[in-house]
Amino acid sequence: MKGSKQLLKRPLALRGFAETSKFKVDWRRQHPYEFGPSGLLVFCGPQGSGKTLSAVQYCKAVLKEYPRCKFVTNVAIEGLPPEVEVIPYNGLDSLSHVENGEFGVMYLIDEIHLEFNSLESKNISIEEMIEFSQQRKQRKHIVGTSQVFMRLAKPLREQIKDVVICKCLFGMVQHNILINGQTSHEQGGELIADVIKHYWFFHRPEMYTCYDTYAKMTRYKKEWMGRERKAASVPLYEPGGGVDTVRYRRGPGGRRDSGGGGSAQ
């Protein structure tokens, strides 16, 4: 009888590489609209950092590439492809109740820390964790924004694939730093992060007018008035408390930088 180590060994044959490559090319040709993005992507930064603006622009680019994708969001966005089905985000049930086969589902949850904050991390159910951990299998992609990355519930942070630290310079220049969410961790009051890539772009007037977050805040206000929420009694950011600085490490294709308190939110 062969042991487990022997059974793990597989032949490294070029034939397998060629056959798999052909299979993937043929599959993509037969399924041109199959949804590709997956995982949990979070844009982080304080108010005025351009995190929601950046998240909206990212989602618009994804929907242009995958117009048959269903889009679930708590943000009213204009200028989406006409064939995109937009579904209002109505809370955590939306994560499990919306399906779309191979065409996929993308979520944009602005201020996702209001749904999942670290002060209520024990309240995340098994069903919700299944949704996060099986996003690729279900062809789901969750995009969120948060003022403070480390205020997100720990079970949620453990599922985050990528994090974008947002900075707005001079009120019109956007500097976004993509970091590896799977290797990011807290150390001595700092968020230690591996930089993957830097992105720069100029704001345009239409970027400010293409989305509206008022409906989202109205919904949360009604929830807070109707029931007590622990998160409501805690400020979203406390200068000098928690993780308020970021130290970047050199990552693939990136360089090492240091950020102050604003960039960590």
Q: Are 46 and 237 in contact (CB under 8 A)?
A: yes
Confidence of residue 3 (pLDDT cuts 50, 70, 90): low
Say if residue 54's pLDDT is above 70.
yes
Work out how many domains the chain is built from and give that number.
1
Enter the tokens of residue 184: 């990011």
Whether 83 maps to a domain, the answer reads: yes
DSSP 216-253: HHHHHHHHHHHS--GGGGS-S--TTSSS-EEEEE--TT
**CATH number of the domain encompassing residue 139:** 3.40.50.300
DSSP structure string for 126-178: HHHHHHHHTTTTTTEEEEEEES-GGGB-HHHHTTEEEEEEEEEETTTEEEEEE
- Establish if 143 belongs to a structural domain: yes
170 phi-psi bin (left φ>0, alpha ψ -120 to 50, beta other): left
In a domain, residue 250? The reply is no
pLDDT value at position 13? 72
Bigger pLDDT: 242 or 149? Answer: 149
DSSP states of 178-226: EEETTT-EEETTEEEEEEEEEEEEE--HHHHHSEE-HHHHHHHHHHHHH
Q: How many residues does the chain have?
A: 265
Beta bridge partners of 42: 144, 163
Domain boundaries, position 223: 34-163+203-243
Q: What is the pLDDT of residues 165-207, one digit of tens each?
A: 999 999 999 999 999 988 887 777 777 889 999 999 999 999 9
Establish if 252 belongs to a structural domain.
no
Domain-located, residue 264? no
| pLDDT for res 56 | 97
- As a dihedral over the C-alpha atoms of residue 117, residue 119, residue 122, residue 123, rounded to 10 degrees, the angle is -60
Asked whether residue 116 is domain-assigned, the answer is yes
Q: Is the pLDDT of residue 70 over 90?
A: yes
Adjacent-strand bridge partners of 198: 177
pLDDT given for residue 75 in this prediction? 94
pTM score: 0.76
Angle at 50 between CA 257 and CA 179, to 5 degrees: 35
Tell me whether residue 217 is in a domain. yes
Question: Which residues sit opposite 140 in a β-bridge?
Answer: 105
The pLDDT, as a whole number, for residue 244 is 42
Over the stretch 204-236, which tens digit does the pLDDT of each residue have? 999 999 998 765 555 555 554 444 444 333 333
- Kindly tell me the burial class for residue 92, based on how many C-beta atoms sit within 10 Å of its own C-beta (0-12, 13-18, 19 or more): middle
Does residue 117 lie in a domain region?
Answer: yes
Ranked by mean pLDDT, the top range of 22-31, 140-149, 219-228, 237-246 is 140-149
Give the per-residue pLDDT at 216: 58
Residue 242 tokens, joined: 């928690």
Contacts of 108 (CB under 8 A, 6+ apart): 55, 56, 59, 71, 72, 73, 74, 75, 77, 89, 143, 144
Q: Which residue has the higher pLDDT, 108 or 113?
A: 108
The identity of residue 120, as a single letter, is: E
